[in-house]
Structure 1
Amino acid sequence: MTRLTARTLFVSDIHLGTRDCQAALLASLLRRVRPERLYLVGDIIDLLAMRKRAVLPPDQQRLAARLLRLARGGCEIIYIPGNHDAALRRLCGLRVHRVRIERRAIHATADGRRLLVSHGDEFDTHVRIAPWLLALGDGMHQFVLSLNRWCNRTRALLGLPYWSLASALKRRVGAAQRYVAQFEQAALHQAAREGLDGYVGGHIHKAGFRGRDGVLYCNDGDWVEHCTALLETPDGHLQLIDWRGEVIEHEPVMAASAVPGATDVLAAAARAS
C-alpha cells in the first residue's frame, strides 16, 4: 500500500453513530495517510441522531480507536464541533485524550497562507432559502441517503467500488446548487473580512474549491456521501482526495493572491460595506 505524504488533513461530517457513516472507507484512507496535523471539522459524532437511535457498529468503533492512536502517535488533532455535535462546544479550549477542542482555528499553510477553519453552520443565517424548502430538502436528503446505502450494498455484492448516488442526484437539483453557492459566498466574505487568505469548512456535504479576489474557499466534503478529505502537501499545496487517496481536484491558481496585502485590501473593503 502506497503511503501518502501529508502535512495536514482536514475531514468533516463523519456522523459517527449513524447508519450512513462510511467509517470503513475513512479508516482505509487513514491507513494510507499519516498527517502531522488532523483537523476534525465538525459533525464527527452525530449526537443529534444518537438521541433517537445510537448506532456504533464495529467499523465505527475501530475508526474512533484509530483516531486516538493517531493522537498518541504524535499527530496533532484539532476537533472543531459542528451543529450535530454542538454539545461538545462547551469543551472548547480543553484537551481530551490528546485531542484539542476548539470553536474555530486559523491554520497556517507551509507556504505562509492563513486559513480560517470552522464547521460552517454559522453561515446558515446568510443563506436565503425559504425555511419550508430547507425542511423539505432535509427530508429528501435523508431519503436519498437511505437509497445510497442500498445502492452501495448492491455494488459491494457485485464487487464494485463505492459510488455516491446522493451526490449524483444533488448535482441535478437547482435549489441545492443555489444553497451551495450562497454558502460559499458567505464563507469567502468572512475570510476576506478577517484579512485571511482563505476558508476551510464542511457542513454542506459538497466538496470543492472556489476563489474570489485572491481568497480561497475549500470544502473537505463528508463521509456519508462523497467520502472526501482535504489534504495539504508538505509544500503547502491543497488538494481534495477520495477514500482511496486519489486526487480528485487541485486548488485553483489564485492570481490575486500573488499581490502583497490582497487580503488586507479585501478586509478593509468588507468592513466598509
Structure 2
Amino acid sequence: MAKLTCRTAFISDVHLGTPDCKADFLLDFLQHLDCGKLFLVGDIVDMEAMARRRGWRREHSAVVGQILDMASRGVEVIYIPGNHDAPLRGLAGQMLAGIRVELDAVHEGADGRRYRVSHGDEFDPEHVGRTWMLYLGDTLHRAICWANRRVHAVRRRMDLPYLPLSIIIKSHVGKALAYIRGYEERVARDARERGFDGHICGHIHYGHVRTIDGVVYLNDGDWVEHCTALVEDASGAMELIHWTGQATPLGRASRETVLPSPAGALAFAPLADCRANLAELEATSRQAA
C-alpha cells in the first residue's frame, strides 16, 4: 500500500495499556505515515488504567517502538500529555527519547492559520472537581468499550469491517450530543478569545471537523473506538481520516471551505467500506441537519 504523505499528523486517546486500544490498526497507520511532524495529543499511555490492572500487550510495545523510530529518523514528535498520562506533564519542556514534551503547543499551518493544540480535558467540566460524575462517566465508558470489543470480535470472525458501536450511541443519544456540542463550543470560544484561527484537541473520543463562529474546531478522535487521525496536507488543509487498513476521509477544513464530518455517515455505514467523497459527505451533512 502507498504511503500516506502529509505535512503534519495528530493522534490522541490511544490508551496503550488497556484492552480496548486498537494498537494493530494504529501500528499499521504509523507504518504507512510519511510526515514531517507528529503531535501526540494526550492519553497515549493510560497510566490510570495500568495502575488498576495489567493490560500491556506486545502490539502496544510495537506502537511505542514505531513512534521512537520515527523520532530517530528526523520526524519532529511533540507529546502533549492528557488526563490519563498526566504524570508526564511534569516533564514539560524536556526531551524524552527524542520526543519533546509540552503542556500545549501552537501549530502554524502551511496556509498561515494558527491553532492551539492541547489534549482538551481543561474544557471538560467532568474533570474539574466533580469526582462522582467523573467516576460515573468512566464506568459507562468502560461498559461501552466492553460491548464494542465484543461486537468487533464477532464482526472480525464474520470477515466484516470494523464498525465502532459507540459512534451510534454518541450520535443518537440526546444528552451525549448536547455534551459534545457544549464541549466543542467551549473549545472554540477559548480559541477565539486567545486570537487563534482554530483549536486541535482530543479527549472526548469524538473526531469532528466544524466551524463555530468563524473558529475551526478540530478533534482528532481516538484509537479506542473510532481509529481516527487528523492530517494536514502541503496546502495547510486539515482532514479527519478513519484508518483500519486504509484511509477513509470524514471531514476537511481548508482556508476556503470546511466540509464537516456528518454524524449520520459515521453511524449508519461501516467506516472501512465508506467510499463517499467529500462532496457527498457535505450533502449528507446538509440532509441530516
Give the aligned partner of residue 251 of structure 1. Answer: 253
| Maintained 8 Å contact 2:221/2:227 | yes
Deviation at 1:133, TM superposition (A): 5.8
- 1:237-262 Cα offsets, whole Å, 9 max, x none, are 00001112221211276679xxxxxx
Q: Tell me: higher relative CO, structure 1 or 2? Use CA pairs within 8 A at least 6 residues apart.
A: 1
Give the aligned partner of residue 217 of structure 1. Answer: 217
Q: Which amino acid is the alignment partner of residue 250 of structure 1?
A: R
Does residue 25 (structure 1) correspond to residue 35 (structure 2)? The answer is no
Deviation at 1:10, TM superposition (A): 0.3
Give the aligned partner of residue 260 of structure 1. Answer: none
Q: Which moved more, 1:95-104 or 1:48-57?
A: 48-57
**Aligned mates of 2:199, 2:117 — CA distance in 1:** 6
**1:119-134 alignment runs, 5 A limit:** 119-125=119-125
Q: 1:15 is paired with a residue of what secondary structure? A: coil
Q: Which runs of 5+ in 2 are unaligned?
A: 259-289
> Structure 1 residues 127, 83: closer, same or farther in 2, change over 3 A?
closer
| Maintained 8 Å contact 1:105/1:118 | yes
Q: Which moved more, 1:200-209 or 1:172-181?
A: 172-181
| Maintained 8 Å contact 1:93/1:101 | yes
Give the aligned partner of residue 183 of structure 1. Answer: 183
> Structure 1 residues 255, 156: closer, same or farther in 2, change over 3 A?
closer
Does residue 196 (structure 1) correspond to residue 196 (structure 2)? The answer is yes
Deviation at 1:131, TM superposition (A): 7.2
So what's the TM-score if we normalise by structure 2? Answer: 0.84
Does residue 104 (structure 1) correspond to residue 104 (structure 2)? The answer is yes
| Maintained 8 Å contact 2:236/2:254 | no
Q: Which amino acid is the alignment partner of residue 20 of structure 2?
A: D
Q: Which amino acid is the alignment partner of residue 69 of structure 2?
A: R
Q: Which moved more, 1:22-31 or 1:10-19?
A: 22-31
Give the aligned partner of residue 232 of structure 1. Answer: 232
**Aligned mates of 1:10, 1:96 — CA distance in 2:** 18
**Aligned mates of 1:169, 1:125 — CA distance in 2:** 21
> Structure 1 residues 255, 147: closer, same or farther in 2, change over 3 A?
closer
Q: 1:138 is paired with a residue of what secondary structure? A: helix
**Aligned mates of 1:25, 1:228 — CA distance in 2:** 10
> Structure 1 residues 171, 252: closer, same or farther in 2, change over 3 A?
farther
Deviation at 1:154, TM superposition (A): 1.3
**Aligned mates of 2:6, 2:60 — CA distance in 1:** 23
Give the aligned partner of residue 52 of structure 1. Answer: 52
Give the ranges of 4+ consecutive aligned residues of structure 1 lying more than 4 Å apart after TM superposition: 130-135, 252-256
Deviation at 1:34, TM superposition (A): 1.3
- Equivalent residues, number: 255
Q: 2:67 is paired with a residue of what secondary structure? A: helix
| Maintained 8 Å contact 2:12/2:223 | yes
> Structure 1 residues 225, 246: closer, same or farther in 2, change over 3 A?
same
**Aligned mates of 1:251, 1:158 — CA distance in 2:** 36
| Maintained 8 Å contact 1:126/1:183 | no
**Aligned mates of 1:135, 1:94 — CA distance in 2:** 32
> Structure 1 residues 127, 133: closer, same or farther in 2, change over 3 A?
closer
**Aligned mates of 1:80, 1:118 — CA distance in 2:** 7
Deviation at 1:143, TM superposition (A): 0.6
> Structure 1 residues 95, 27: closer, same or farther in 2, change over 3 A?
same
CA RMSD of aligned residues (A): 2.0
Deviation at 1:38, TM superposition (A): 0.3
Q: 2:124 is paired with a residue of what secondary structure? A: helix
Q: Which amino acid is the alignment partner of residue 248 of structure 1?
A: L
> Structure 1 residues 92, 146: closer, same or farther in 2, change over 3 A?
same
So what's the TM-score if we normalise by structure 1? Answer: 0.88
- 1:22-48 Cα offsets, whole Å, 9 max, x none, are 011011111222111000000000000
Q: 1:141 is paired with a residue of what secondary structure? A: helix
Q: Which runs of 5+ in 1 are unaligned?
A: 257-273
Q: Which amino acid is the alignment partner of residue 64 of structure 1?
A: V
Deviation at 1:137, TM superposition (A): 3.6
| Maintained 8 Å contact 1:214/1:255 | no
Q: 1:19 is paired with a residue of what secondary structure? A: coil
